[in-house]
């Protein structure tokens, strides 16, 4: 755990807060800003890892009481003119927004169907490719067998004959049953 003295040396180190970066990527000079400095800031408030953060777009230092009073008047006028008036959406605007949303949904459905069709075609092509590859391997294996002088049909016949003999042995009755003992 750091002490206040360590924190203050950490924060006041060279370039600790001399420059900031805005949400738009522009640099902001924060060299004159210290704890207790009155500033006029513009930006958005967000949170990251459960910590509130301000994403600065513009910042200026308020040096006099008159500048601070002007800032408060500007802020109050903004709240009165913009934020306190009821925001009424006309039926035309509402319908336009609804059509736009439905159009976006329709576009998403079309894209999804197109993507599913492409995936189906791709899967069918892969399956066909595997099938062709399997057949090619079987043909090559048959050629290798022919080159070695082994006939596949003779091997199959031997297998069937051996299998038949094994089945007959399993189904034969013992001699004791045949002789009637």
Phi, psi of 24 (to 5 degrees): -85, -5
The span from the CA of 11 to the CA of 17, in Å, is: 7
Residue 174 lies in a domain: no
Residue 152 lies in a domain: no
Residues 95 and 55 in one domain: no
Which domain, by its residues, includes 35? Answer: 4-63
Report CA-CA distances (Å) from 54 to 23, 45, 73, 86: 10, 4, 22, 27
Split into its structural domains, the chain has a count of 2
Residues 59 and 9 in one domain: yes
Residue 181 lies in a domain: no
pLDDT at 14: 44
pLDDT at 30: 75
Residues 15 and 55 in one domain: yes
Residue 52 lies in a domain: yes
pLDDT at 72: 93
Residue 84 lies in a domain: no
Residue 145 lies in a domain: no
pLDDT at 5: 45
Residue 154 lies in a domain: no
> pTM of the full predicted structure?
0.35
Residue 169 lies in a domain: no
pLDDT at 3: 44
The series of mean pLDDT values per 10 residues for the chain, 181 residues long, is: 44 48 64 85 88 84 91 92 86 91 86 93 94 90 71 64 78 62 53
The span from the CA of 64 to the CA of 74, in Å, is: 16
């Amino acid at each position: 755990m750091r002490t206040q003295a360590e924190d203050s040396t950490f924060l006041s180190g060279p370039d600790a807060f001399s420059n900031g970066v805005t949400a738009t990527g522009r640099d902001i000079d924060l060299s004159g800003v210290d704890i207790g400095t009155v500033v006029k800031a513009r930006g958005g408030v967000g949170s990251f890892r459960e910590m509130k953060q301000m994403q600065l777009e513009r910042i200026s230092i308020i040096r006099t009481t008159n500048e601070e009073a002007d800032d408060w008047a500007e802020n109050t006028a903004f709240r009165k003119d913009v934020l306190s008036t009821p925001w009424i959406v006309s039926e035309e605007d509402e319908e336009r927004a609804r059509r736009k949303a439905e159009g976006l949904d329709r576009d998403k459905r079309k894209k999804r169907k197109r993507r599913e069709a492409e995936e189906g075609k791709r899967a069918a092509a892969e399956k066909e490719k595997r099938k062709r590859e399997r057949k090619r391997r079987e043909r090559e294996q048959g050629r290798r067998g022919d080159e070695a002088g082994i006939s596949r049909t003779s091997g199959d016949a031997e297998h069937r004959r051996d299998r038949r003999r094994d089945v007959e042995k399993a189904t034969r009755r013992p001699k004791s049953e045949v002789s009637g003992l």
